[in-house]
Amino acid sequence: MLISGLTRGQMTDLNIFRKAGTDPSCLERQEWQRLNPDQCFAEPYQVHYENIGSFRGNHRVRIKGSTVTVWDRGPFERSQLTIEKQYRPNKSNGTYWTDETFNTDGPVLMDPVEESVTFGQGQPDDIPEVYYPEKAVLAFYLNLGKDAKNLERARSYLSPSAQQIYDIKRDPFGLSTDPANPAKARQKLARVLVYEIRYQPDIRAEQLHEDQDVTVTVVGVNEKGQYDKGFVCQVTWTVVAVENPQALPYGCEWGLESFWTTCPPGEK
């Protein structure tokens, strides 16, 4: 059973319940009352609902199958970016609570199976709409994978000169190429999780479209959903102005020009 709450039309609260207990037979009830004279019949023997997970996101919450996804947005976040967390049931107890929950005074939610930075309102459709340079870098990595259409979109976020230098189908773009990595870029890479974005806003420089540096912390995920936190990389991109008369509001858009990474180049 699901009980949800809405904020401005979006689900932001979710509680999940399951049916527990059994209806005792007449003889079982009589036996219990014989052993417990002058007491009300015990609740644990009756069918009831127990809470197996409680979630809240200030942006939205979604459940698909048994996976619960929570999006939270910072109060002063300018780029519609959110932190996305995914939760799946604990295999040992069938709930979203840790095993330690049953030895404490209150429920303890399990750690998310995935946590990343993403767009709260979905990815921008057109790069001219990406006014802030950090959005261009995030959009690039969220489209990096094996899907041809997404790869072409990722390529569009590179500057014209970068498109000549980098091979969108082969270059690791700062991700780990270590053979021990379960999501070795690019042979085993299916998608990218962005853990963190670091960028110092400068409105005047952005209006003039001066070169900007944006740093992201990223890790690759393979087609089975596997990733290894031992292969997290920090990648810093220099983002430059690309002339486009259709781009609003200043006739320029951002293009990813070049990068450096904390991960060694390894094998491509």
Could you give the domains of the chain? 2-115 (no CATH), 125-261 (3.10.450)
pLDDT of residue 43: 54
| CB burial of residue 140 (10 Å; 0-12, 13-18, 19+) | buried
Count Cβ neighbours within 10 Å for each residue of 231-242 and write b for 16 or more, e otherwise: bbbbbbbbbbbb
Which residues in the chain land under pLDDT 70? 41-45, 102-104, 124-130, 266-268
pLDDT of residue 102: 63
**Residue 115, both tokens:** 């946590």
E strands, 172-267, in order: 191-198, 212-221, 233-243, 252-261
pLDDT of residue 266: 58
**Residue 55, both tokens:** 């979630």
Closest CA to 59 of 110, 6, 19, 134: 6
Closest CA to 141 of 222, 254, 256, 262: 256
Are 222 and 186 a contacting pair, CB within 8 Å? no
pLDDT of residue 183: 97
pLDDT of residue 264: 85
For helices 148-156 and 133-142, the axis angle rounded to 10 degrees is 160
Whole-angstrom Cα distance, residue 54 to residue 45?
24
pLDDT of residue 40: 74
